Amino acid sequence: MDDIAIELRGIDKSFGLVHANKDINLKVRKGTIHGIIGENGAGKSTLMSILYGFYQADRGEILVCGKQVSIRDPNTAISVGIGMVHQHFMLVENFTVLENVMLGAEDSQILNKGINKARQELKRLEKEYALEVNPDALIEELPVGLQQRVEILKALYRRADILILDEPTGVLTPAEADHLFRILGQLKAQGKTIILITHKLREIMAITDEVSVMRRGEMVATRTTRETTVEELAELMVGRRVLLRVQKGEAKPGDVKLAVQGLTVKDSRGVTMVDDVSFEVRAGEIVGIAGVAGNGQSELLEAIAGIRRATSGTVLLNGRSVDVTGHRDPAELRARGLAHVPEDRHHVGLVLKFEESENAILGYHNDPRYLNGVFLDIDAIRKDAEEKIAKYDIRPPNARLKTANFSGGNQQKIVLAREMERGPDVLIIGQPTRGVDVGAIEFIHKRIIEMRDQGKAVLLVSVELDEIRSLSDRILVMFAGRVVGERSPEASEGELGLLMAGVEGRKEAAG
């Protein structure tokens, strides 16, 4: 038992009728990286929230380094050496890095003395763990990769020996994820114990020593990583064999449904984010846009969807012009056959305080099928929501539940069901499987292919290069706001990577 950092015995937790954790037993060895995987809603985050003191178990015991502890709140967890890096960062955006690291851990009545002490400790931690970040930078000015480093530094500053990371790569580019893994390897080499919650099986295989699998609230297996496979883990997660590659027939492109010509978009600072972009999407095809996050893909989708004003250019929807430079109502575009699954489901796609049934009609609430005279027909709305829940396997199957109480993957399904079930002519999707587990990814990919095969035009943006290559019939690559090349899905990852870095794109432009 001397080598066990964390042991959970018989952990049980219910929220009303939802049995989130069912008699969970788990051992995590010291100085290892232990993965916890499972479908969205399997109970992974609930279990780790109990370990970190956000929730208290209804039954069960927690042992830290062989000693039974009662973790009543996060402060108690911190006091026994447990730190947590959350999926959605817990940072004050208008505070500096140093202020965020100190927040809640000020250990001097004379603030200046505390700040000086904190600055010295922060420098030591940055150097020891290769977590360099400007201590005086404002959080809101940092990219998400550096914000995540601040979260890790916060935990280390509080003397955490056990780090819990909840879906740490969900908001990172591939390059940022690679750097995170190097950091985790260094933390492990320094004797830290890391618990990694993720749905990305290739990450599990690349970095963990052991992996435990949860399904519907139960712990169903623990494996030594080098002795298992992606296929076995996927089957354990879902309870059936899972297709890890997209199966699709040949595209049969028809008429042009979406035409973008010379589109230029500037942000609020006047910086050009989309620079003279032109392309077409035809009925019955999927056009994927690849690129490192921040190269104009988000602004491009928002301009097409009517939620961001373009500086210049034209957009044709079903052959009819769309006013991209003036004020547009996204509802008008929806009525003309455009559906939009936004990249940021929390801030743009959903109202988290609304019930699932309310979010299931968001933006379409003036449809006569949801009205009874001038009032909303609540029974019709809930019946419609229940049909979508069944068709898209949204869990838990409760149309009255607040949307904030669904897991990220099930929130994504709510948005997808709302937009796809309208049968749009043009579907634009940003990051369709961000934060989604392997079973739900398979389902979402099938639905996107079905939309294509029904003759819909699909424009897809994803930072997951495997996803772009698997789903797309044609791939456009964006770099610094411009489309720098077009490739077929058979293009190699290396070739696309060079385009994404702007290397080959400059050669093509010169040629």
More confident: 203 or 505 = 203
pLDDT recorded at residue 145: 76
Q: What is the mean pLDDT of residues 105-115?
A: 60
Reduced to 3 states, what is the DSSP secondary structure of residue 336?
coil
Structure tokens given for 392: 């898209």
Task: Round to whole Å and give the CA distance between 136 and 151.
Answer: 15
Q: Per the omega criterion (within 30 degrees of 0), is the bond before 396 cis? A: yes
Structure tokens given for 441: 């990814």
Task: Round to whole Å and give the CA distance between 86 and 96.
Answer: 19
Q: Which amino acid is at 277?
A: V
Task: Round to whole Å and give the CA distance between 40 and 281.
Answer: 32
pLDDT recorded at residue 244: 63
Query: In this predicted model, what pLDDT tens digit does every residue of 113-154 receive, in sequence order?
Result: 678 888 888 899 888 887 888 989 998 888 777 888 898 998
Query: In this predicted model, what pLDDT tens digit does every residue of 288-305 receive, in sequence order?
Result: 999 887 889 999 999 999
Residues 6+ apart with CB under 8 A from 480: 275, 295, 296, 502
Query: In this predicted model, what pLDDT tens digit does every residue of 316-356 receive, in sequence order?
Result: 999 999 999 987 788 899 999 999 999 988 889 999 999 99
DSSP string, 191-255: T-EEEEE-S-HHHHHHH-SEEEEEETTEEEEEEEGGG--HHHHHHHHHSS----S---------S
Confidence of residue 309 (pLDDT cuts 50, 70, 90): very high
Residues 6+ apart with CB under 8 A from 298: 343, 430, 461
Q: Are 156 and 193 in contact (CB under 8 A)?
A: no
Task: Round to whole Å and give the CA distance between 132 and 146.
Answer: 9
Sign of the four-CA dihedral 266, 465, 474, 420: negative
Multiple choice CATH, 256-345+406-510, 3.90.1260.10, 3.40.50.300, 3.90.470.20, 3.40.640.10: 3.40.50.300
Confidence of residue 465 (pLDDT cuts 50, 70, 90): confident
Query: In this predicted model, what pLDDT tens digit does every residue of 5-18 receive, in sequence order?
Result: 999 999 999 988 88
Structure tokens given for 355: 């019930």
Instruction: Tell me if domain 4-238 and domain 256-345+406-510 are identical in fold.
Output: yes
Domain boundaries, the chain: 4-238, 256-345+406-510
Confidence of residue 110 (pLDDT cuts 50, 70, 90): very low
Residue 108, pLDDT > 60, answer no
Q: What are phi and psi of 478, to 5 degrees?
A: -105, 140
Query: In this predicted model, what pLDDT tens digit does every residue of 241-255 receive, in sequence order?
Result: 766 678 899 999 999
Please, is 509 exposed, middle or buried when counting C-beta atoms within 10 Å of its C-beta (0-12, 13-18, 19+)? exposed
Structure tokens given for 167: 């879906």
pLDDT recorded at residue 355: 97
Beta bridge partners of 478: 483
Q: 4-238 falls under which CATH superfamily?
A: P-loop containing nucleotide triphosphate hydrolases (3.40.50.300)
Sign of the four-CA dihedral 346, 440, 238, 463: negative
Structure tokens given for 427: 């579907």
Residue 109, pLDDT > 80, answer no
- Average pLDDT for the chain: 90
Q: Which amino acid is at 266?
A: K
Q: Strand order of the sheet with strand 285-290?
A: 338-341, 426-430, 457-461, 285-290, 474-479, 482-487
Query: In this predicted model, what pLDDT tens digit does every residue of 416-461 receive, in sequence order?
Result: 999 999 999 999 999 998 777 777 888 899 999 999 999 999 999 9
